[in-house]
Chain A
Amino acid sequence: MSSNAIGGRTRIVIASDPLAVRQALCALFDRLMAGRMAEDARDTAQIVLAEALNNIVEHAYAQTPGEIEVTVDVSPGGLTCWIMDAGLPLPDSALQDTLLVQPQPGDDLPEGGFGWHLIRTLSDDLDYRREGGRNFLTFRISAQQYSN
């Protein structure tokens, strides 16, 4: 993992690997962000970023190794995040609609499919585009957490 920070902006490049994702999240949220965001907003940001990075590791780079570039900008209004990878595109090169069904104790409970639901529920200004063989995902986390 390599990283550099200029002002409120931090850029990290990691290998596409679950352990590298964990290390990046710990570096960002336990150290860099400590004290710079309210705890609730920080939790929210970590959940969204974790799901976005896990998706890239599991799907975009499912067949090949690769690198993920994460840029995070923290300001008084909240956190903005840009993620870039050179893996496979999302299906149809677009964000998919997600639908979470109310799980029932007696049903065959789902063990997955929560990731995009969490990203969509918790982030603002979510945007994805495919350009030049790369995936670009951006989102914002407001410093003010009201209902979530």
Chain B
Amino acid sequence: MQLDCTQTQDLMIVHVRETRIDAAGAIDFKDKMRDLTAASQCRVMLDLSLVGFIDSSGLGAVVAVRKSLGPDRPLELAALTPAVEKVFRLTRMDSVFIIHRDIPARADSFRDVV
């Protein structure tokens, strides 16, 4: 599971460089997200633009990451593809997460590969 990270002053954007978050990758995703987000206390946004498919295990992993961040640091999601949007909508998780249509454009200039 490859995750790249863009860090600005008040926002960490994690770019998922995979086409799927599924049962085979859910634990790895959770572990890597925990490692990445432990280093700072700022907001976290997940860039899902490359993720064309998520299953319920992947969804559970995203929920687990949100919970591990704590109530004061809500996980934000950005750039959901249609299949991913469908899974969030049908499980009503779209009402729980802050969802952005796009990732902030300026984030590209701060990219660091982790």
In the assembled complex, the CB of B68 is this many whole angstroms from the nearest CB of chain A, namely 11
Docked Cα-Cα span, A40 to B81, in Å, equals 11
* A102 and B66 within 8 A (CB): no
* B23 and A118 within 8 A (CB): no
Residues of B contacting A122 with CB < 8 Å?
90
* A111 and B91 within 8 A (CB): no
* B96 and A103 within 8 A (CB): yes
- Count B interface residues, CB 8 Å: 27
User: What is the 8 Å Cβ interface bit string for chain B, positions 47-79, against chain A (1 contact, 0 not)?
Assistant: 000000101110111011011000100100000
Main SS class of interface, A = helix
- Count A interface residues, CB 8 Å: 34
* B24 and A103 within 8 A (CB): no
Given A47-B87, A114-B56, A54-B63 contact (CB < 8 Å)? no
B residues adjacent to A (C-beta < 8 A)? 20, 22-24, 53, 55-57, 59-61, 63-64, 66-67, 71, 74, 82-83, 86-87, 90-93, 95-96
Given contacts A19-B24, A43-B86, 5 further A-B pairs with CB under 8 A are A43-B53, A46-B83, A47-B53, A50-B55, A109-B96
Give me 7 A-to-B residue pairs in the complex whose CB atoms sit less than 8 angstroms apart, sorted by A's number.
A18-B23, A21-B23, A21-B24, A40-B82, A100-B92, A105-B74, A111-B63
